[in-house]
Structure 1
Amino acid sequence: MSILIEELKKEHSEILAKLEEVKELGILSKEGQDKLMSLEVSLLAHLGIEDDQLYPTLKKEAEHSNSIKDTLDLFEMDMENVSTIVQGFFEKYSEGFSGMDLDKLSEDYENLLTALTKRISNEEESLYEEYEALNRP
């Protein structure tokens, strides 16, 4: 496995662990909220690495491969949806969680958790495999 993919998978594990920790701590607890807000920084850094190192290689190969192009097109559409959910959550709750409708907050967090978990799984099963196949000696 390439160093890049190892690093990205490690970050995925850390992101998922933080999400689960937030759930265990409780989204209304100070600790849970702090952990969640630190997740935003981790997510942005992770996306930056993917944008700088993963996607350029795949996009270049997509110029010659309809299969990779189709895969990237699907992931781009999915990413727009995931980005909307993630950005919407962090914008909505950037000022904190006090006074919020608890049911709505729980629902929004579950949507965030589901979107990120699904995206991570899809990336590892599809995009990362494509990247690995391109970089085999």
Structure 2
Amino acid sequence: MAGLVDALKSDHAVILATLNKIKEVGISSKEGRDKLLEVKNLLLHHLQREDRELYPHLRRAAEVDISLRQTLELFAKDMDEISRLAMEFFQKYAQGGAGIEFARDFGRLYATLGERIRREENIIYVRFQQLEKK
């Protein structure tokens, strides 16, 4: 498991950089649409990796740690909403988009993902690293 948190944080950095590139080039350009598909794939890969390598260990520890169990339950509920928001965004703008509506939707997605990333890195990943040390 050594290096998992570093790899996941690296994924986060790439996801945010790709979102920034979309913001820079715009979704109406081919490059913007390509980057949108890229960030969707990056997110899916990242979530699969967390589900496969990170969360099973945390769930096992949560069997005896009520605080961790509650934290994981909150994160799971939060992720359900984020996943719904992200999939709706990707479906809506798969062929491009522009204007105020896109800017609003993109800003909401960007802020939501940014907050989730910050919380994962400061709470979930820290708890995982503490478990690794035991």
- Tell me the residue number matched to 2:129: 132
> Is residue 2:37 matched to residue 1:33?
no
Shift of 1:77: 1.1
**Structure 2 regions of 5+ residues with no counterpart?**
none
- Tell me the residue number matched to 1:10: 10
CA distance in 2, matches of 1:101, 1:5: 36
| Cα 1:66–1:32 shift into 2, 3 Å | same
CA distance in 2, matches of 1:24, 1:90: 17
- Tell me which stretches of 4 or more aligned residues in structure 1 moved more than 4 Å: none
CA RMSD between the two structures: 1.5
**Structure 1 regions of 5+ residues with no counterpart?**
none
| TM-score normalised per structure 1 | 0.92
For residues 10-55 of structure 1, what are the alpha-carbon distances to aligned partners after superposition, in whole Å with 9 as ceiling and x for unaligned? 0100000101111111222221221111111111000000000100
Aligned partner of 2:100 among 100, 103, 107: 103
Give the aligned residue type for 1:123: E
3-state SS of paired residue (1:64): coil
- Tell me the residue number matched to 1:88: 88
- Tell me the residue number matched to 1:116: 113
Contact 1:2 1:132 in 2 (8 A): no
Shift of 1:2: 3.1
CA distance in 2, matches of 1:35, 1:110: 16
Shift of 1:112: 1.1
What is the percent sequence identity of the aligned residues?
A: 40
> Is residue 2:44 matched to residue 1:47?
no
| TM-score normalised per structure 2 | 0.94
